């Protein structure tokens, strides 16, 4: 299940609502990955790091947009 890489430029082109939706999806996936790791069912351990970095990228872009608006 390969997911498309999303770049920062893609995030910057998105609206605040879209970013919020993506952030909530990634947070749910992050929770599920942590749960799988705790149960010993996680196969692709690198996905945890990928999700964590994408969450950070989205939050950075959201903060940039807030600073521009206010």
Q: Model pTM?
A: 0.85
> Is residue 2, in this structure, part of any structural domain at all?
no
pLDDT in tens, 6-63: 788 999 999 999 999 999 999 999 999 999 999 999 999 999 999 999 999 999 999 9
3-state secondary structure of 15: coil
| Residue span of the structural domain in which 16 resides | 8-69
What pLDDT score was predicted for residue 3?
56
Q: Where are the alpha helices (DSSP H) in 1-70?
A: 8-13, 16-39, 46-69
Residue 41 lies in a domain: yes
pLDDT at 1: 42
Domain count across the chain: 1
Q: What's the CA gap between 27 and 25, in Å, rounded?
A: 5
């Amino acid at each position: 299940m390969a997911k498309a890489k999303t770049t920062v430029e893609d995030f910057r082109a998105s609206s605040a609502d879209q970013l919020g939706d993506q952030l909530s999806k990634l947070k749910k996936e992050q929770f599920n990955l942590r749960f799988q790791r705790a149960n010993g069912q996680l196969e692709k351990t690198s996905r945890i790091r990928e999700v964590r970095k994408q969450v950070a990228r989205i939050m950075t872009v959201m903060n940039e947009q807030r600073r521009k608006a206010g």
